[in-house]
Structure formats: structure tokens, C-alpha cells
Structure 1
Amino acid sequence: MDVPDVPDVPDMPQQWSAKRAWGVRAAWLLLALVAALYCGWRFAQSSPLQTNLLALLPATEADPVAERAVDTLASALGDRTVLLVTSNDDTHAKAAARQLGASLQKSGAFGSVTAELPPFDLAQIAALYMPYRFGLLAPADRAALAGGASGASLHDMLMQRIYSPLRGGLTTPLADDPFGWLERWLAGLPLATSNLEVEDNLLVAHRGAATSVLIVATLPGSAYETKTQHAVLAALAQGESALRDAFPDVSVARTGAVFYAESARSASEREVHLIGIASLCGIALLMMWVFRSPRLLLLGFVSTALGIVCALAATLLVFGKLHLLTLVFGASLIGEAVDYSIQYFVVYLGAQRDWDAWRGARTVRPALAVALTTSLLGYAILMWVPFPALKQIACFAMVGITTAFASVMWLLPALLTRAPKRSQRRLFARAARVLTLRHRAIGGRRAWWVAALLLIAALPGWLRLTSDDDIHLLIQRDASLVAQEDTVRKAVGVDNSAQFFVVRGATPEAVLQRAEALGAKLDALNGTANGVGGYQSVAQFVPSAKQQGDDRALLARQVFADSAALRASLLQAGFKDEVADAWLAAYAKPHPPLSIDRWLAAPWSQPYRHLWLGEVDPATQAYAAVVIPQGVTPRNEPALIALAHGVPGVVFVDKAASVSKLFGAYRVDSGWWLGGALALVLALLMVRYGARGGIFVTLPVLLAVGVTLAVFGYARVPLNLFNWLALMLVLGVGANYAVFLREGCLRADADLGAVWTGVLLSAATTLLSFGMLGMSAMPALKSFGATLALGIAIAVLLAPIGMPSESRRAA
């Protein structure tokens, strides 16, 4: 039985008419121009390259609000660039920071640059809270008042406030806060969670003899835009060069998404050039050695180039952006896309002077159709995986190889109309002898013994297989940038924590109440081995209306119940009548509680606004906020997760752990997908070649998958999702070689030496491109490429198993 074929094209005369040939050429030229112009237009605008590593990752959180929180925090931090100017000379460090800040500001590459702090009166913070002071009590004051405040204790509190030594930080006027309740509440605000101090209007950190000055800059656009990256790096290079001349003892450390994005983009571009050029040169040399024809080489690359440019255009059209992972993988697609033209050229050279271009296309069509189907099956499985970059890779590859196949069927016959001038008879004859010997060694009944021996040898390797799904192993960051980031973090004293809580509720008030309940549990946890030290929560800046009401009610019971006695205490302490009366009147005056909107409107709240997500779902009027703990470790993380489960509407988010968990789940599932794909390929090949033939054609790629897994086991290389997904493509691509040999045996006029030469050349080009992919600095692509190269190498070595015995071949 035949597998479903591409649509037949009406039979044509032996010699293509010039008119029809030029029509086909013009149609393909038009397609190439449209695809190329579209790609050029997209790249001429803002760069479509996606350098954001988070874009590689799927939505892992079951709660969409939690996923939005991840994006919000990433955006809030993504447009910030932090520089640390350090010297053992305090004066030099500060002068250098001022100079660098001025240089960066003058460059125009940044939206804003803050080296010297603008004048800011801390009294602005106290001024925001002053009207609401009777609803704001620190936990210690709340506990003291709840325990029963007597006149004597209130008098002692008042005396301590009046005669206490000079206080630092946020202070309040004695007349407006005679008992110091607001001042002590302000002291609990998480305004400073770092080692930085303000000196000479600069943010300074001292570590031993070193003085470090912080410069914070914001970007005018996205950190992932190429234009922004170039401008930032140029401005920094110029500023640091001038700094080295003026202050040789000063060092500058930098961190920010823009640097990681630029590093990833530059690395991927280098790899695209390396893989693309090396693959191109290697494939060109191989094809020239085998075919000895610059014309065939050129036509092979025309077919491949059409596949790649159409794949690029389709991917940009469907996804809008092109991930770096897709770009690097696309460079390695050259080796696979050229396979189809290689098979056509083998038939062309074998035909000698009896050449009909259309008949040649019909000759290779069954083999290429089966090969295309198996390859598309392997890539289609990638479309089911919820990783955006893998979906892009699948789209790119499927369009690329389909276009390459179509060009072999309908373009090359219009270009290769003349018979070949020479043939590689001697090379083909040697290849035929090698194939015959190889088939006699591993084909026929011996195939079962070969399979048994390989499985026995592979079994210990399978038993040694391990896995590692840690996402950090799959995303390589520039070591120099990581070291500089660590330097900045140690100087500033900010914990490198990417875990946080998301608190949601039907109203802002519900969110604040739940955030307060969560904060109480975190405070209680700090007394145990699982404590986090501190945290930032919007409820610390804006208590819930209920908490403010409770605090006011507590003051009403314990302090203001006897206003005459309270007034007398104030007068006795030395307060003037008008001051005491004004304070009592302020309490008596009705005042709404402090609201989120009022706090957000204050300019100084800007660095903390990411703690409030606001309305996240207008349809259900759902609101949310984040609570960011410090000092999250593998030891205390289980306690934090359990704590989140104990508060309604609270989830603990750890993006890296969630992705790693998803990696593990899909790694396990991919084993079942691979088994299902093998069954589908077997069924397809059995339809084409019969039960026995289908089994023998499938056996080489099945053994290739098994032996590849065993090699990883023996080498103690842990498997991840990308290894298993690569095995899907080993199945899709590796099955082609046995198919090509089987189809050659079914053709009466086929030169098996030429067919085997084509198979080896196809495998060599694919191995060359995917082997280069295995040398990628991106761990995900490295796993992908290494697995593909190993599996394909084994599949082609075992491909003769799929050939029928000599007695069963076409006469």
C-alpha cells in the first residue's frame, strides 16, 4: 500500500517546455521575494529578536494572578540598571560616581540617572500619615495598650517621649504625637532593607576599607530592544573610559536585565554565524566531493535557502517575535533541509543521459514523502509542549522542511532540465559493495541478533539513567555579569530571592486583611529556625481599614475614654492649653482611614508600588498584592509554602521551582509521547512496506533511541526534557535513512550504491549541523544537539537493517 502522497502534477513531456519552466521559476522567485521582503521589513523596524529569557518559559502558575505577578515584578525590575562605583579612597569613590552619573545622563541613553539624590525631606513621609495617626499603632504599643493602660503608665510613656534623647530616622513633632505612637509605627516601615546609607547626597555602602557608591538608572525603552542595548553599552564604555583616566583606582560593577539581554543576544548571534557558516562550508565541501558539480551545490543551497527564509517569515508572522533559541536552531536546520535535494541529485546522477526532470521528481517522491511525514511528526510533538520557544522551533522547522520538500518536487525539475555531463560511477560502485557487506552483516535474520546484542549491552546503561530538571542548568548566564551582580548585591545587602507571596481578594480591603494575616504568620515564623528575617508588604505601608479601626477603638477605650484626665496629664507634662486642645480635637474629628489610592498618590511610594498589583481581573473585580520575604532558602521554603496554604487567597510563587517541576512532569510525559510516536511511525511504515517490512525499517531508529539513552546512562549524564524532545526528532529524522534505502530497493532502475551514497551524505550534513548545535553555549540547545547527533549517527549506521533481502528486491 502507498502512504498518502503529495498531489500529483499532470504528466509532462520529457522535455519541459521553456514557458512552463519559466513560469515555475517565476512563481518560486515571487515566493522568495515576498518572504525575504517581509523578513527585511520586520527587521528594519524595532528588532523582532526576543532576548528575554523569561519568554522561553511557560506560564507555570495555576493561578493566573500569580503569573501576572511574575510579569509585573519582572517589568518593574527590568527597566532598572544598577552601577556600583567602588574605591578604597572614599573621596575618589564619591567623585567618580558623580562623574559617571553626569556622563550617563548627558549621553541620552537612559531615561533617568540618579547618582546624587535630589533634596528630599523625610517629613513628607510623616506628613502623609499624620492625619491617620490615631489608627496606626506599632505592634508593641498595641500590645501594651491592650494589656490595660493606666494613668501612671500613660504618664510614664509621655515622660519618656518628652525626655528621650535625640532620635534619628522618621520623627514626628511632639505636639502632634505626644505619646510617640506614630513615630514608633513609622520606624517599622520597610523603607530601607539594605546596607546603604545617605552620605553627601549619595547612596553609600562601606565594606572594610572599600567605599561603594550606588548609581541607579532607568531605560528609555525595553531592556530587550537591540537599539536600547547598543546605546546603553556605548554610553557606559565612554563613561568608564573617562573614569579610568581620572580615577585609576576605581572599579565599576553593573547589573540589570539590559546587560543579560545584550549578552544573550551577542552570544546567540555569534553562534548563528559559527553554526551557520561552519555548517554551510562543511556541507558545501561534502557535496562538492560527492557530486563534483558547483551547479548541484548551488541548487541544493537554493532549496535550503528557500526553506529557511520561508520558515523565518512564517515564524515572525505567527509569533511576532523570534526567540534567540529559534534563531540558533534555525542555523542548524541547513543540514536537514538539504537532505531532500541530495536524494534528488543522486537520482539525477544515476540517470546519466536518460534524464527526465519530472520523472526524477516522481521517482524520489515516495521516499521523500515518507521521510517528510516522519520528520513532521517529530516536530509536531514539540508544538504540544507549552514552551513558547519550542513551539517556535517546531513552527520554524515544519515550514522549513516542507518548503524544502516542495522546492525539490516543483522547483528543481524546472532548473535541472539538462542531463548530467559526468557520473560518480566509481564512487557509487564502492558504496554499493560497502552496503552489500553491511547488509549481509546486520540485515535479514541477523538483524534480530544485532538487536538483541545491542539491547543487552544497553540495559546496564538504562539502569544508570538519572535526571535533573533544574531550570538553572538550562539557562546559561554570562559568568562575568553574574560576578558583578553578586558584587552589587553583597555591597547593597539585598537578598537574591525570586520567591514571593501573591495575596488576592475580592476588594482592596480583603487583600490588605489577608496580607496582614500573612505578615503575622511571617513574624511568628521568625522566632523559629525557618524565619526569613524580614519582608516587604503593602499592608506595612497601608494597614487595612479594619486594623485602623481596631487601633482607633483601642485608643478610644484605653486613652481617650476620660478626655478630661488625659488633658490634665498633657498640661501637667508641660503642654500648652492650645496644643493639648488641638491634639484632642484632631482625635475627635472624624477622618476616613488611609487608603491604597492615597498612598499610591504620594511621590515617595514609587519604589514600592510593585507591591500592589491592583485590580487583576475586572470581570470578577479581583485585586491582588505581593509580599516579598527576604532570606528564602531551600530549608525554610517548605514552611513558607505551608504557611501560604494556611491563609485564604495566598499562594507562594517560586518561578524557577515551578518551571523545574513542569520540566520534570513533561520529561516523564515525553517518554509516553515517544512511545506513541514510535507506534505511529511503525503503523505508517507497515502500511507502506507491509508488516515485516515496516518492522525492519523501524528497527534501526528504535535501536538508535535505545542506544542513545544507554550512552547517557553510562556517561552519567542526567537527562532533561530537551534530551527527550531531541529523541522525538531522532525518530523523525533518523527513520529517513532506512526509508531511503528501502525505497531504493523498491525501484527497479535504482543504483543502490548511489542511494547509499545519498543516505551517508544526508546523514553527514545533518550530523554536521546538529553536531555544531551540540557545541552551543546555551545548555538547552547543547542537550538538544548532542542527543540528536548521537541518535542520528547510530540510526544511519543501522539503516541497512531496513533493506529487504536480495531475493525480495525489485528486479
Structure 2
Amino acid sequence: MTPWRWQRTTTSLWRIRAAWVALALVAVLYCVHRFSGPSPLETNLLALLPATEADPVAEQAVERLAGALGDRTVFLVTSRDADHAKAAARQFGAALKESGAFASVTAELPPFDIAQIGAFYAPYRFGLLTRDDRDALKHASVGAASLHDALMQRIHNPVRGPLATPLAVDPFGWLEHWLSALPLATSNLDLEDNMLVAHRGDSTSVLVVTTLHGSAYESQVQRAVLSAASQAQASIRSAWPDASVARAGAVFYAESARRASEQEVHRIGIASACGIALLMLWVFRSPRLLLLGFLSTALGIAGALSVTMAVFGKLHLLTLVFGASLIGEAVDYSIQYFVVYLGAPRDWDAKQGARAVRPALCVALATSLLGYAILAWAPFPALKQIACFAMTGICVAFASVMWLLPAVLPASPSKGPKATQRRLFARAAVLLVHWQRAIGAKRSWAVAIVLAVVCAPGWLLLQSDDDIHLLIQRDPALVAQENQVRDAVGIDNTAQFFVVQGATQDIVLQRAEALGAKLDALPGRQTVDGWRAVTQFVPSARRQAEDRAFFAQHVFADPAALRATLLQAGFRDDIADAWIGAFAQSGTPPLTVERWLAANWSKPFAHLWLGAVEAHGQRGYAAIVMPRRVTPRNLPALIDTARATDGVTFVDKAAGVSKLFGEYRVDSGMWLGGALLLVFALMIARYRLRGGIATTLPVLLAVGVTLAVFGYARVPLNLFNCLALMLVLGVGANYAVFLREGCLRDGADLGAVWTGVLLSAATTLLSFGMLGMSAMPALKSFGATLTLGILVAVLLAPMGMPTQGRKPA
């Protein structure tokens, strides 16, 4: 090489190295920037799920409820001694408040004059009637004995509720009856010593409610809440050892999911990296090649992290854990390059080595990208992120092998493989020859037929399970504590509810009233044990007008007789005249939702009103009706009730996702078939018809054997098993490609090629196999399917070897 050409080559190499260093710095600095601020990790489990409702307003209702409940945390302090429980709750609340981790802490309720509620409704009292009072008035008339008796019972009744109304404002008690029917008591708690207390058996529990400073899914908020709760619990343990604390809230589930995912990332990443390092050292006997292999992989992961966060803004837990397993696949490209490097003659030419391995890596990259592209087509946000992460990672790893490694391993004398490596390659060559004779060439079809016959019964035994819990698994300890809180408090069902829509507010209220009447009429086991809706606080304008007309017909039709009834009961003239005159005034407008929402005491129920919404280009209004009890027995009746009521939709997020799981599981079969055809076409384009069939057959059989094993093992298939088969196709096809390309390379050592294929499969199995031990059910399904499929694909890869070592024309 002339000095001028050598200098030019050296300059070019340094430019390539500098460009990769700059790329790596940009990716790493961006990742550091994102993780140094608010955590980009997405721990909201609902964010992992797709939109399941055809109606966007229903999706908005799901998000509204999740937001309303997500910023609250609930603690339940329990003791067998009521005084101890209350004292411990006071100290626990004080400790939480002092920590500064919460926006508000409520252990003792501030003084509240409940008479404010009665005063709020008093101006609208002639438009508010309970169903019982309405039925009673149908059979009464002014001056009748029944109306007189009702007035006497009201005057002389010694038992008055907390929402008692003055006789002058409500002489017959109709407003008091309506107020008593308000669903203000949304729990099993009683107010004692300004504290919310539940008595169950011989135990007393006190509720402590808090709100967060920020989102429950921010890691800083989670750490602050967990630290404050632990310190507060420790502070009461010494003074009241008999007191226990249960907790409930989205922040605890989010923190548990984040912590579990971080542990899995560390475990999978460290175990995979260590295993791959040992395997590569054992085969290549070169720390330099090991470091270069991990350099290529590290660049791929850094690029994948930065691109994914830039595109999606957040990083799902599933993506993070799956990314730790990408090490085994990304390192495959550098392994194939090192195999060519070790088998090169004494004068190693890095660019020529890259050209030699490029066809195999290009075909392998294409099949892998195809498999991940299918994931990107799925509607699940987490799967789209995984696809983006993996496609970016393997593309960067591929590019680094094609351009960076040749710049790091430039033209230099090569000593070839060491003696131990030559022995290893020789043994691998002998193994390959014997194994290829057993399953390859003309025997390939016989092997395929035998495997098909063996697998056929397993295919017939295949079952499916599309339960949403395959995606989400909650901490059992937190679930137990949440159940304890729910049992004590009596929290309403929030997972299944009705969404009521209409063009105007009053149409929404009317439809909600109609729905409520149908729910009350459900018989026997179909009953829902009550429901919650904004109409229980604000009747529709039509209902208020009907009640006012009802009063006019049955009570105020004869004002003189009504006045005589009041005077006979002992009312003064001015009070009787004022009450009758109040009804005669027609200037009072009906009660509205906005007026109700403006009252401070309505805040706990404000989530029942969605307000103005827009769906399919049309504006309207919407509200939520929440049944208290939804069971498998009454669920069909609730769905039928929604269908039979105009503007009403029944929302069941879990059932919606499970249904979508099933639909896309079925669709994934067609996706897999289409992907197989594309891979087959790619193989034919490269290896002609016979070569394409021989190269595609191993991965096709791998898919079939994997499905048969699941059938024989009676393991139900889910969407994630089926999507993992896409990756079996994309990744598993690489091994037959690597082997066939090695056979077609001039002067290639088949033992080294087979060793490289086995090493690539081992690294992939090691990383994806770790997913099979994940606590996340979705990743566990991924890992088990990939491990089995890739193992079969690499064992059958020699089927794709050419019968003669010649390049395709």
C-alpha cells in the first residue's frame, strides 16, 4: 500500500470512528437527560392497553375515572380497641402531613354544617319528590285524611335524620324524604369524633385519605409516598403495637410494577450479559472480540432507548424488560462477523470481511424486521414500543457491524484460529456433517412429514385464553390490603359502568333516569343492589317540571283547603301563607348540574358527570351511572339494558381488552401466514425455488412444533404466544440463512460457521429464555414461545444447507 493510500485509509477510518463516537454520545446524553428529570418510565397499567371502546366517550370515561381515583391514596388504621385505632389514625395522619409527600391529608374531618345541603335544595323543593311520596300522593287529596295524617306524623315524629328540614320550609317532610334518599353515604363508614370509622366484628378501622402532589405514575412521587407511609407506620408501631395499617391506591401498584420491572431488567440484563460473555470468550478466546461484540450491542440498545423515548415520550415497563433481552439478538451480527474474521487468511481485509458477511446479515435483518413489523401493527401501545425498540436496536447493531467493526478491525496480519478453536471447529464440523446427513438433503421431506404426523394431535388439542390478566399481574400483598380497605369502606364498583350520552344536558339526565328505573326493576339475581348517578342529586328539568305539576294537581289544587289543613295542624297563619305562596311563585328556575357542581360537598361525586364531550364530530354531553354490584349472573342483563336504552353504553374495560385479545389472536394467524409467504419469497429471491424451500422449511417446522407442544401440554394460547411466533419466524429463519450463506462462501470453514450459528442461537436463547422466567405474564408467554421455537429452528437449520457448495447464479 502506498503512503498516500495508507494515509487516506487511516483518515477514513478515523472519520468513521469519530462519527460513531458522536452518535453514541448523542444517544447516551439524551438518555441521561431523560432519566435525570421526571422518570420516562410508564407505570400506568391502563397505558399498556389499547382503546377497546368503539365510542371515544366511553374511553374518555375510563380515563376520567382512572384520573379521579389515581391521585388518591387511602389508608385504613385498624385495632381491636376503638380508642387506640382513633389515636393511631391521628398520629398516622399527622406523620403523613409532616412528611410533605402529600398535597392533602385527611384523618379528621373539618367541621361541616350538614344543614347546608338542605339549604341548597330548599329553593327547588317543589320539583323534588321521591318515588314513594309520589305514589302516596296519587291516592291523597287536599283535606283528605291521609294527607292530614302525614302532616301529623311529620309534626310529632321524635326521630329526625341528619338532613332534617325546618317545618316552616317543609311541613309535610317531602324535601326531607328526598334528602334522606341522597346517596351521600357512599360507604359503610360512620362519623365519630370527626373521623370516618368502620366497625367490623371486634375491630375498629379509621380511614385516612390523602391526595398526591403529582401523578401516581411519577417515580419521584412514588418514592416520596412509600417513604412517608413507611415512616408514619413505624411511628405508630411503638405507641400502638396492636394497630395495623392497610393501604390502597394506584401509586402503590405503580411503584410495585416499576420496582419489579427494574429488578427484572437487572436480573435479565446481567444474567444474559454474563452468559453471553462466557460463551463468546469460550468460543473466540479473545477479550478484544468480546468487547467489540458488546460495543455493537451497547450501541444498538442506546440507540433503541433514545429513539423510543423520542418517538413515544414514555417508556413502558414491558419495553424496558424486553429491551434487556435484546442483547442476545443484537450480538448475533457481530458473532457472524467474528466467525469470518477468525477464518480469514493471514492478510485480513476488514472491508472484504464485511462484504463476505453482508448477504447473510441482510437476509437475517430483513426477516427479523418483518417479525417485529408485525408487532408494530398490533393495537397495543406496549407492543408498538417493543417493535420500535427492537427494530431500532437491531438496525443500529447491524450498521455498527457493517461500518464500525471494519474500522476497528482494519487490515492487519491474522494468525487465524487458535489450536483450541481449530479443535472446536473440527468437532463442530463433524457434528454438522452427521446431523445434516440425518435430517438434510433428500431426508428433509421425510423428517418434515414425520414431524407433521407427530404434531397433528397436538394441534387439535390447542386451546386459547384471552384473559386480560395475562398482561397485568398485581402484587398479591397489595391486592389483599386493597380488599381489606374495600370491605371496610364499601367502595363502589369502578371497573364496570354505564356511559349515558345526549345532545343536551337534560336529555342525558332523562336517559340516566330511565336507565336507573330499569336497573331498579331487575329481578332476583340480576339486581345490582343500587347504583350511583348524577340524577340522584340533580333530577332532569322534565322530572322537576313533572313533580311540580304533580304538586299542583294533588297538593296545591285547592289552596284554601290546604291552608285549612295546615292551620288545623297548628301552623301559624303567616307560615302557612308563606309556604303556599312560595309554590305560587313561578320565577325559580330548575336545579342544574352546574349549580350542583359549584357546591363544595358535591366534589366526591363530580366524576359522575363527564360534561361536554365530542364524538364522531358531534358535540354533546355525557354522564356515568355506576352499578354497585356486577356479577357474571347479572352482566348479560346489564348489557341488554344498555342496548335497550337510547344513548347508553355499558363499559367493561377488562372484558373489552380480553375480547380484543381474542380477535387479534385469531388475526395473528393470518399475519403469520402472510409473513411466512414474505419470508419464502425473500428466500426464493436469494436462493431460487429449491433453496428457498429448504431454507424456509426449518422455521416453518419450528412454528408447527411449538404449537404442538402447547397443545400436548394443555397450555392455552394467548395473543402474546401468537405474536411471539412472529419473532420465531423472524429470528429463527436467521440460523438457516447463516448456515447456508456460510456454505456458499469461498473458503469458509463449515465448522466455524456451524459454531457461529450455535453461538448465535445460544445467546438468543439465553436472553429470550430469561423472559420465560419473568413475573410479567405477557413477557413470560413471549419468552416460553421464543425459547421453544428458536431451539427447534436452530436444530433443524441444517435442512437449509445446499447439496453443493456453490453460489447461486
- Report the TM-score range of the alignment, normalised by the length of the smaller protein: over 0.9
2:219 matches 1:226? yes
Correspondence for 1:171 among 160, 164, 168: 164
2:302 matches 1:304? no
> Whole-Å Cα distance in 2 between the matches of residues 687 and 89 of structure 1?
80
Instruction: For residues 472-523 of structure 1, give each alpha carbon's deviation from its aligned partner in whole angstroms, at most 9, with x where no partner exists.
Output: 2331100100010111111112255510000000111110010000011011
2:318 matches 1:325? yes
Instruction: For residues 199-239 of structure 1, give each alpha carbon's deviation from its aligned partner in whole angstroms, at most 9, with x where no partner exists.
Output: 11111111111001111100010000000001001111111
2:435 matches 1:438? yes
* Counterpart contact for 1:15–1:356, Cα < 8 Å: no
> Whole-Å Cα distance in 2 between the matches of residues 593 and 496 of structure 1?
31
Match of 1:501 in 2: 498
Correspondence for 1:555 among 551, 557, 560: 551
Correspondence for 1:354 among 330, 342, 347: 347
Correspondence for 1:615 among 612, 615, 638: 612
Matched residue SS, 1:118: coil
> Whole-Å Cα distance in 2 between the matches of residues 747 and 757 of structure 1?
15
> Whole-Å Cα distance in 2 between the matches of residues 534 and 698 of structure 1?
60
Q: Which moved more, 1:12-21 or 1:29-38?
A: 12-21
> Whole-Å Cα distance in 1 between the matches of residues 471 and 271 of structure 2?
24
Correspondence for 2:266 among 240, 257, 273: 273
How is 1:728-739 mapped onto 2 (pairs within 5 angstroms)?
Answer: 728-739=726-737
* Counterpart contact for 1:747–1:810, Cα < 8 Å: no
> Whole-Å Cα distance in 1 between the matches of residues 37 and 106 of structure 2?
31
Correspondence for 2:573 among 562, 574, 577: 577
Q: CA deviation at 1:148?
A: 4.7
* Counterpart contact for 1:748–1:810, Cα < 8 Å: no
- Name the CA shift for 1:583/1:24 in 2 (closer, same or farther; >3 Å): same
Match of 1:146 in 2: 138
* Counterpart contact for 2:496–2:626, Cα < 8 Å: yes
> Whole-Å Cα distance in 1 between the matches of residues 215 and 313 of structure 2?
16
Match of 2:245 in 1: 252
Correspondence for 1:489 among 472, 486, 489: 486
Instruction: For residues 553-612 of structure 1, give each alpha carbon's deviation from its aligned partner in whole angstroms, at most 9, with x where no partner exists.
Output: 010011111111111111111011111111112111221000000000000000000000
Match of 1:342 in 2: 335
> Whole-Å Cα distance in 1 between the matches of residues 71 and 754 of structure 2?
56
> Whole-Å Cα distance in 1 between the matches of residues 430 and 14 of structure 2?
41
Match of 2:561 in 1: 565
* Counterpart contact for 2:500–2:622, Cα < 8 Å: yes
Read off the aligned partner of 1:774 and give its amino acid letter: G
Q: Which moved more, 1:797-806 or 1:222-231?
A: 797-806
2:410 matches 1:412? no
* Counterpart contact for 1:770–1:789, Cα < 8 Å: yes
Identity within the alignment, %: 73
Matched residue SS, 2:525: coil
> Whole-Å Cα distance in 2 between the matches of residues 232 and 342 of structure 1?
46
Q: CA deviation at 1:760?
A: 0.3
Matched residue SS, 1:560: coil
Instruction: For residues 36-68 of structure 1, give each alpha carbon's deviation from its aligned partner in whole angstroms, at most 9, with x where no partner exists.
Output: 111111111211100000000000000000000
Matched residue SS, 2:612: strand
> Whole-Å Cα distance in 2 between the matches of residues 620 and 130 of structure 1?
36
Q: Which moved more, 1:416-425 or 1:197-206?
A: 416-425
Match of 1:184 in 2: 177
Instruction: For residues 653-691 of structure 1, give each alpha carbon's deviation from its aligned partner in whole angstroms, at most 9, with x where no partner exists.
Output: 000000000000000000111011001100110111011
Matched residue SS, 2:57: helix
2:94 matches 1:102? yes
Match of 2:584 in 1: 588
Q: CA RMSD in A?
A: 1.4
Q: Which moved more, 1:51-60 or 1:121-130?
A: 121-130
* Counterpart contact for 1:69–1:502, Cα < 8 Å: yes
Correspondence for 1:58 among 17, 26, 50: 50
Matched residue SS, 2:650: strand
Instruction: For residues 444-484 of structure 1, give each alpha carbon's deviation from its aligned partner in whole angstroms, at most 9, with x where no partner exists.
Output: 11011111111111111111111100102331100100010
Read off the aligned partner of 1:141 and give its amino acid letter: D
> Whole-Å Cα distance in 1 between the matches of residues 631 and 303 of structure 2?
48
> Whole-Å Cα distance in 2 between the matches of residues 629 and 13 of structure 1?
81
> Whole-Å Cα distance in 2 between the matches of residues 307 and 646 of structure 1?
55
* TM-score (norm. length: structure 1): 0.97
2:454 matches 1:462? no
Read off the aligned partner of 2:350 and give its amino acid letter: A
Matched residue SS, 2:591: coil
Read off the aligned partner of 1:344 and give its amino acid letter: Y
Read off the aligned partner of 1:770 and give its amino acid letter: F
* Counterpart contact for 1:46–1:225, Cα < 8 Å: yes
Q: CA deviation at 1:352?
A: 3.9
Instruction: For residues 177-201 of structure 1, give each alpha carbon's deviation from its aligned partner in whole angstroms, at most 9, with x where no partner exists.
Output: 0011111111111111321101111
Instruction: For residues 726-775 of structure 1, give each alpha carbon's deviation from its aligned partner in whole angstroms, at most 9, with x where no partner exists.
Output: 00000000000000111111112211111111100000000000001111
Matched residue SS, 1:351: coil
Q: CA deviation at 1:806?
A: 3.8
* Counterpart contact for 1:50–1:323, Cα < 8 Å: yes
Matched residue SS, 1:737: helix
> Whole-Å Cα distance in 2 between the matches of residues 204 and 493 of structure 1?
12
* Counterpart contact for 1:284–1:297, Cα < 8 Å: yes
* Counterpart contact for 1:497–1:632, Cα < 8 Å: no
2:748 matches 1:756? no
> Whole-Å Cα distance in 1 between the matches of residues 205 and 691 of structure 2?
73
Match of 1:89 in 2: 81
Match of 1:705 in 2: 703
Q: CA deviation at 1:808?
A: 5.7
Unpaired runs of at least 5, structure 1:
1-11
* Counterpart contact for 1:16–1:414, Cα < 8 Å: no
Read off the aligned partner of 2:197 and give its amino acid letter: V
Match of 2:393 in 1: 400
- Name the CA shift for 1:123/1:41 in 2 (closer, same or farther; >3 Å): same
Unpaired runs of at least 5, structure 2:
none
Instruction: For residues 519-556 of structure 1, give each alpha carbon's deviation from its aligned partner in whole angstroms, at most 9, with x where no partner exists.
Output: 1101111x432000011000110000000000000100
2:41 matches 1:49? yes
Read off the aligned partner of 1:537 and give its amino acid letter: A
Match of 1:528 in 2: 524
- Name the CA shift for 1:18/1:680 in 2 (closer, same or farther; >3 Å): same
How is 1:443-454 mapped onto 2 (pairs within 5 angstroms)?
Answer: 443-454=440-451
Match of 1:32 in 2: 24
2:744 matches 1:785? no
Instruction: For residues 383-415 of structure 1, give each alpha carbon's deviation from its aligned partner in whole angstroms, at most 9, with x where no partner exists.
Output: 111100000000000000000000000000000
Read off the aligned partner of 1:454 and give its amino acid letter: L
* Counterpart contact for 2:769–2:787, Cα < 8 Å: yes
Q: Which moved more, 1:192-201 or 1:106-115?
A: 192-201
Matched residue SS, 1:171: coil
Match of 1:7 in 2: none
Instruction: For residues 279-338 of structure 1, give each alpha carbon's deviation from its aligned partner in whole angstroms, at most 9, with x where no partner exists.
Output: 000000000000000000000011000000000000001000000100000000000000
Q: Which moved more, 1:429-438 or 1:291-300?
A: 429-438
How is 1:591-740 mapped onto 2 (pairs within 5 angstroms)?
Answer: 591-617=588-614, 620-740=618-738
> Whole-Å Cα distance in 2 between the matches of residues 113 and 600 of structure 1?
23
* Counterpart contact for 1:734–1:792, Cα < 8 Å: yes
Instruction: For residues 58-89 of structure 1, give each alpha carbon's deviation from its aligned partner in whole angstroms, at most 9, with x where no partner exists.
Output: 00000000000000000000011000000111
Read off the aligned partner of 1:296 and give its amino acid letter: L
Match of 1:125 in 2: 117
> Whole-Å Cα distance in 2 between the matches of residues 581 and 703 of structure 1?
93
* Counterpart contact for 1:530–1:639, Cα < 8 Å: yes
> Whole-Å Cα distance in 2 between the matches of residues 150 and 559 of structure 1?
6
Match of 2:541 in 1: 545
* Counterpart contact for 2:364–2:737, Cα < 8 Å: yes
Read off the aligned partner of 1:714 and give its amino acid letter: Y
Correspondence for 1:771 among 764, 769, 772: 769
